[in-house]
Amino acid sequence: MVAGIDLGGRRAIVTGGASGIGVETARALAGAGAEVTLAVRNVEAGRRTALEIGRNVLVAPLDLADQGSVAAFVDGWTGPLHILVNNAGIMATPETRTSQGWELQFATNHLGHFALATGLHDALAAAGSARVVSVSSVGHVNSDVDFDDLQFVRRPYDRWLAYGQSKTANILFAVEAAKRWASDGIAVNALNPGRITATHLSRHIDDLAAAPASFDSTSTDVSWKTVQQGAATSVLLAASPLVEGVTGSYFEDCAQAPEHQPGIRRGVAAYALDPERAAHLWRVSLDLIRL
């Protein structure tokens, strides 16, 4: 994805850059010459990753479930930002709530990244032609965003519906941000990296019998990939001239995804690209983080 590309002079942030596809995304961007900041909850793990990559890599603390931590990261950033990869995420956690009472997966996967991206908007605009990459999942086809009960207050908590909702929110964010920020030269796209073998994302899946069938390693329902293959679509959207001018779209397997078809765990659900739902989520998200 970065062969022959020179990212010298460009600055990038990769959230969750100390594990999984975040490491390989950071490695590719740094290898092409970008200065990459690993925004991570575990700073020690981030430092080990930075040493292993070996060049052009900085480390900064960021806990996406903590709005104070997000604000501190934003306040500490100076200068332009050319690439923001909203990569970090959690999946299928037991029912857990933040200090605000927010469901943890929605708070981390969506609201944390929403606050980060909107907080860094001016830095992205200053770059002139910045890119924001929102790492979603095929899991978004399991659930639309339930605006009547975002936090699972009235309905029983379901960890897979909660995950799906948060991943749909990642796509809706890209749709609305692309519209709002087009005049600033900021391209925003979302993606499905595929099912990645052996990453920390699946650490909460202690009962595979209760997981979707696609989590069986023999399943052909989803695209199983190595960590490096899983990072490829993120790197494409972050750095490749092949997607110059593309914004507000959803990618998988390094290409724009077709519409999701029932029974096939590929493609993008129509509700995830709905501009009215995207605008509504933006307003709701602003209200939540302002509180």
Give the C-alpha separation, 278 to 282, whole Å. 6
Q: What is the 3-state secondary structure (H, E, C) of the chain?
A: CCCCCCCCCCEEEEECCCCHHHHHHHHHHHHCCCEEEEEECCHHHHHHHHHHHCCCEEEEECCCCCHHHHHHHHHHCCCCCCEEEECCCCCCCCCCECCCCCEHHHHHHHHHHHHHHHHCHHHHHHCCCCEEEEECCHHHHHCCCCCCCCCCCCCCCCHHHHHHHHHHHHHHHHHHHHHHHHHHCCEEEEEECCEECCCHHHCCCCCHHHCCHHHCCCCCCCCEECHHHHHHHHHHHHHCHHHCCCCCCEEECCEECCECCCCCCCCECHHHHCHHHHHHHHHHHHHHHHC
Position of tokens 């900041």? 37
End-to-end CA distance of the chain: 40
Which of these is catalytic: 157, 163, 250, 271? 163
Query: Is 250 annotated as catalytic?
Result: no
Nearest residue to 239 (alpha-carbon basis) of 20, 28, 21 = 28
- Which residues are designated catalytic? 163
